[in-house]
Amino acid sequence: MIKTSQINSKEMKFYSEICEKLNNKEPFKFSRWGDGEWGCMKGWKGKNRDGNEYLPELANELRAILYGEQDYYFGLQYGVLYNSELRDYVFGILFNDKHNWVNGDVLHQASEYGYLNVFIEALRGRNVVVIGPAYFEDLPYGVIQIPETNSYLKNPRTFFEIEICIDDTEWTDLVFLIAAAMNSNIIIDKLPNNVTAIDIGSVFDP
């Protein structure tokens, strides 16, 4: 079994870092910014490929996060830099941005390279709660179920359930794994800094 110390690739340095933080029970937050988030903020109309609408109120909240002063990991999904509709918009924002930008695709790359077991092992023994659609219920973690699309509209209910987890004295040392499309960024930003919150995207979907 591969261990964190065996991952020597420069490309996967950040992956090793977050796995070490999980092993050391050091809280951190990691959000991911891809085509959907950038397109929503730019004012795209309609829906993304997964059926999530580019809601104006969602766009406003995403912009507020991006223009804020959050002290956590902002993951850039590099595919946006090859999107001709987004490239100039993204570069225009990043040029003056001071957030801690990292590789937003790191978990998916770890899966491709056969390193995902390091992440899974680091979660072992932690109080893990997945915030995602119903199909995550078979995972050996707690699950806060949200709609597969437009989960942003159900956030009051979602945050009510999150508060129950946080307030439960038996649920200390919390790790939230969020799979809520563009809404993941909203959830992560609003979670307290004494928990770990990770946007897992589609890495557990298979």
Q: At what angle do helices 155-167 and 183-190 cross, to 10 degrees?
A: 40
Q: Which two tokens stand for residue 44?
A: 């795209």
Q: Is the pLDDT of residue 76 over 90?
A: yes
pLDDT in tens, 3-46: 555 565 677 899 999 999 999 999 999 999 999 999 999 999 99
pLDDT in tens, 143-188: 999 999 999 999 999 999 999 999 886 767 899 999 999 999 999 9
DSSP secondary structure of 54-69: --HHHHHHHHHHHTS-
**Tokens 């225009």 sit at which residue?**
92
- The CA distance from 191 to 203, in Å, is 21
Q: Average pLDDT of 139-143?
A: 93
Q: What percent of the chain has pLDDT over 90?
A: 77
pLDDT in tens, 80-90: 989 999 999 99
Residue 8: CB atoms within 10 A of its CB come to 8
100 pLDDT band, cuts 50/70/90, is: confident
The candidate with the shortest Cα–Cα distance to 77, out of 65, 67, 86, is: 86
Residue 20: CB atoms within 10 A of its CB come to 14
Burial class of residue 64 in the structure, from the number of CB atoms within 10 Å of its CB (0-12 exposed, 13-18 middle, 19+ buried): exposed
Q: Is the pLDDT of residue 125 over 90?
A: no
Strands 142-145 and 196-199: what pairing? unpaired
Q: Is the pLDDT of residue 112 over 60?
A: yes
Reading phi first (left if > 0) and then psi (alpha if -120 to 50, else beta), residue 169 is in alpha
Q: Which two tokens stand for residue 101?
A: 């930008």
Instruction: Decide if 131 contacts 162 (C-beta within 8 A).
Output: yes
- The CA distance from 26 to 120, in Å, is 16
Average pLDDT, the chain: 91
- The CA distance from 157 to 174, in Å, is 19
